[in-house]
Amino acid sequence: MQNDFILLPKLKKNSLLCLTILTLACTNENHFKPIPVEYPITEKSDHVDLYWGEEVADPYRWLEDDYAENTKEWVIAQNKVTFDYLDKIPFREAIRERLEKVWNYEKVGAPFFYGDWTYYFKNDGLQNQSVLYRSRDEGKEEVFLDPNKLSEDGSTSLSSIAFTKDGSLFAYAVSVAGSDWRDIYVMDTESKTLLKDQIKDAKFTGISWEGKKGFYYSTYAQPDGSKLSALTNDHRLYFHELGTTQAEDVLVFGNDETPKRYVSCTVTEDGQVLVISAANSTTGNELYIKDLSKAGSTIKPIVANMDNNHGVLDHREGWLLVQTNKDAPNNQLVKIDLNNPEPEKWQVLVPEKEQVMQVSKGGGKLFATYLKDAISEIRQYDYEGKEESRIELPGAGTVSGFSSKKTQDSIYYSFTSYVQPGSIYRYSIREGKSKLYRQPQLDFDPEAYESHQVFYTSKDGTKVPMIITHKKGLALNGKNPTILYGYGGFNISLTPAFSIANTVWLENGGIYAVPNIRGGGEYGENWHKAGTKLQKQNVFDDFIAAGEYLIHEGYTSSDYLAIKGGSNGGLLVGATMIQRPDLARVALPAVGVMDMLRYHQFTAGAGWAYDYGTADESEEMYRYLKSYSPVHALKQGTAYPATLVTTADHDDRVVPAHSFKFAAALQEAHKGELPVLIRIETNAGHGAGKPTSKVIEEQADIFAFTLYNMGVDFGGKSE
């Protein structure tokens, strides 16, 4: 394959292609003043790659160089056009003000316990980052760590935290500007003073303490080229002994001979076993263990292949409790004898059921969370696998955080739905009952809204669930502004979850619809695989069918429909708007994987090959990827929906070059009346840890762009 990089001249300043865009078609009832748009000229090169004997032009290859001056100038030029457009939307500021008002309430997380202290995260309303607090014996609370003081603009965030078992030491990782690269610091919890220990540039890492001796972490070697986009394939596990420098850290797992793309570890709660997971893709992993109770013990394999997913839950008297989908696509819990770990000797504790299962533990019990059509159900088991009870939940929604230490007799968990703000409940293991612990108070009335599930039929006859949320008493007149949100990949389940931003959409008469399309994990590994590689089109078909259902049933029409998704969901939106440009009025692809021929050439993107396949593996796969790759599948002279591509300059998960190249190609191909723009956030990454202020600004821009191009006014909330 040809991989030559062609250097291009800098983007010409003030070189604009004058193209007036009318933002509204005559079919909409409401008419706003057209906003003229002048797209920057994006220089094109004659760069060509060779795939399986076929030449493929890549005229915007130069936009992959995130450090180049011409790329920076292109970003500035595109942002100027986009924000000039957004500035002219008359109700944009009203949306931002309403978002800020509804966002401004106290948010408190579930408590967790170390030493004599109770810890919890709290945000007083509009703080850019939540603050870690603590209190002792229900006494006065105090700030333990405030991430807002780590940067002036709130762009530095906490990503991982870990206490020693006795709570005397605390390690935490921070991300700067949303990057996946992390720095780790260590604090004495009593005095709240930092120790001299510091780890620079860890990535895709947890923090696992071995007693108080030190901790394990994972990282890659510094890549050649851009730190934000160069390949990072050789992941390694290190041990840092307290009081030493990072240069003295011991390599525990990973080497040049047998590199692994993703390496992680955990020390079991009893401190006796180090468990190492090694993987080369986002599905399937090997398992290794080291006996920490015996000096000089070595690492030995427990599962020596990556054919299935395996997650260690606990260690007990020489046995590992492991959740696995080996021979059980919906997962099962097994016991593995560390002295005889052969799969044929595994003992099933909790067998596979019809619903996909995730297991947690707490208070000496096991808790299996089942997804029944994306809704949480929980059953309690003892350590021998005997079912003891089914736990009554506050309603139909999503439970998270249902775990605790073995010594605790209570579990604090969060319950939420599309209309129920996340509330904290305390579950008494002894009593078998839940009690409301903390409920947020915000300017939103759940009783005024409804959220119901429907099942629709996809192109090949598959039944797909979708949850639709809106105001009660909604008229099915085809004129309701609707956001159809999807993901469909990587075994990730979209379960009901409250969104502060969506309250503003809903109270303005909007509909929010989420289908559980194939590629996700809502129905186990079979559902996931049905949306991967040469079956990826099922994902797009399921999403298109969801939009068609909403239109057919009168919830909305093409003039009032927006399709939205991020990351893999950004790919979903990009592919859908190209295959069905008539389906929706607005397209909102965020941080999307848009170049399917080259995604595996950036950072750890090669790890996504289980879901996507790569253009290198076969001619069949190459042609399949190219057929739906948003950068390559755009058709010249087509009228596409009003499109607002969103990305960020520090996204080193899905590098912004994906969105850059797609936006440039879209602006060239598009011949319709609606605007196609790109909004590029600065000092932000893939999404995690983004400051509240930036989140509100971005959501205001997305809603303003969407409503304006639907011809729908923003009325705010009636007082």
pLDDT higher at 648 or 16: 648
Contact 171, 209 (CB under 8 A): yes
pLDDT above 70 (res 124): yes
Q: How far apart are CA 262 and CA 45, in angstroms?
A: 35
> For 179-214, how does the pLDDT look when each residue is reduced to its tens digit (9 = 90+)?
999 999 999 999 999 999 999 999 999 999 999 999
Question: What are the pLDDT digits (tens) for 307-366?
Answer: 999 999 999 999 999 999 999 999 999 999 999 999 999 999 999 999 999 999 999 999
Assign 15 a pLDDT band (cuts: 50, 70, 90): very low
pLDDT at residue number 21: 31
Kindly report the three-state secondary structure assignment for every residue of 21-33.
CCCCCCCCCCCCC
C-beta separation of 267 from 241 below 8 A: no
Provide the pLDDT for residue 17.
35
Q: How confident is the model at residue 20 (pLDDT cuts 50, 70, 90)?
A: very low
In this structure, are residues 357 and 368 in contact, taking their beta carbons and an 8 Å threshold?
A: yes
Check residues 19 and 198 and name the one with the higher pLDDT: 198
Average confidence (pLDDT) over 705-716: 93
Q: Which helix H or strand E contains 250, and what residues bound it? A: strand 250-253
> Domains along the chain?
48-100+445-710 (3.40.50.1820)
Interatomic CA distance for residues 503 and 440, integer angstroms: 14
Report which of 224, 170, 227, 225 is spatially closest to residue 203, judged by C-alpha positions.
Answer: 227
Average pLDDT over residues 110-126: 96
Helix 69-87 / helix 692-710 crossing angle, nearest 10 deg: 60
Question: Higher confidence at residue 25 or residue 480?
Answer: 480
Name 662's bridge partners: none
- Catalytic sites, residue numbers: 567, 686
At position 509, the amino acid (one-letter code) is: G
What CA–CA distance (Å, rounded) separates 497 from 516? 13
Mean pLDDT of the 138-161 span? 93
Strand positions, DSSP E, 382-526: 387-391, 398-400, 410-416, 423-428, 433-438, 449-457, 463-471, 482-485, 511-515
pLDDT at 9: 29
Contact of 626 with 632, CB cutoff 8 Å: yes
Residue length of the chain: 719
- DSSP-based three-state secondary structure for 569: helix
Rounded to whole angstroms, how far apart are CA atoms 538 and 611?
13
Confidence of residue 255 (pLDDT cuts 50, 70, 90): confident
Find out whether 580 and 587 touch, Cβ atoms under 8 Å: no
Answer whether residue 432 shows pLDDT above 70: yes
Condensed to tens digits (0 to 9), the pLDDT of residues 465-517 reads: 999 999 999 999 999 999 999 999 999 999 999 999 999 999 999 999 999 99
Alpha helices per DSSP H over 10-91: 69-87
Q: What's the N-to-C CA distance of the chain in angstroms?
A: 62
Strand 310-316, strand 273-279: pairing: unpaired
Alpha-carbon distance of 374 to 488, in angstroms, equals 13
Q: What is the mean predicted confidence (pLDDT) over 241-248?
A: 98
Sole residue written with tokens 């300017």: 443
DSSP 108-125: EPPPEEETTEEEEEEE-S
Q: Report the C-alpha gap between 500 and 700 in whole angstroms.
A: 12
Count CB atoms within 10 A of the CB of residue 384. Answer: 8
- For residue 28, pLDDT over 70 is answered with no
What's the confidence (pLDDT) of residue 649? 86
Helix (H, G, I), strand (E, B) or coil at 420: coil
Share of the chain above pLDDT 90, in %: 89
Compute the C-alpha angle 104/501/503, nearest 5°: 90
Residues 567-613 have pLDDT tens digits of 999 999 999 999 999 999 999 999 999 999 999 999 989 999 999 99
In this predicted model, what pLDDT tens digit does every residue of 678-700 receive, in sequence order? 999 988 888 888 999 999 999 99
pLDDT over 90 (residue 228):
no
pLDDT at 14 over 60: no
pLDDT of residue 716: 58
pLDDT at 8 over 60: no
pLDDT band at 31; cut points 50, 70, 90: low
Residue 545 belongs to what H/E stretch? helix 537-552
Is the model's pLDDT at 281 over the cut of 90? yes
Q: Determine the pLDDT at residue 13.
A: 30
Average pLDDT, the chain: 93
User: Do 691 and 682 contact (CB within 8 A), yes or no?
Assistant: no
Is 25 a residue whose pLDDT tops 70? no
Question: Averaged over 641-666, what is the pLDDT?
Answer: 95
User: Rounded mean pLDDT of 286-306?
Assistant: 96
> Look-up: residue for tokens 């909403």?
550
Residue 334, both tokens: 């097994």
Contact 398, 416 (CB under 8 A): yes
At residue 27, the pLDDT reads: 40
Give whole-number Cα distances, 665 to 650, 670, 697, in Å. Answer: 22, 8, 26
Q: Specify the pLDDT at position 682.
A: 84
- Amino acid letter, 197: D
- pLDDT given for residue 139 in this prediction: 83
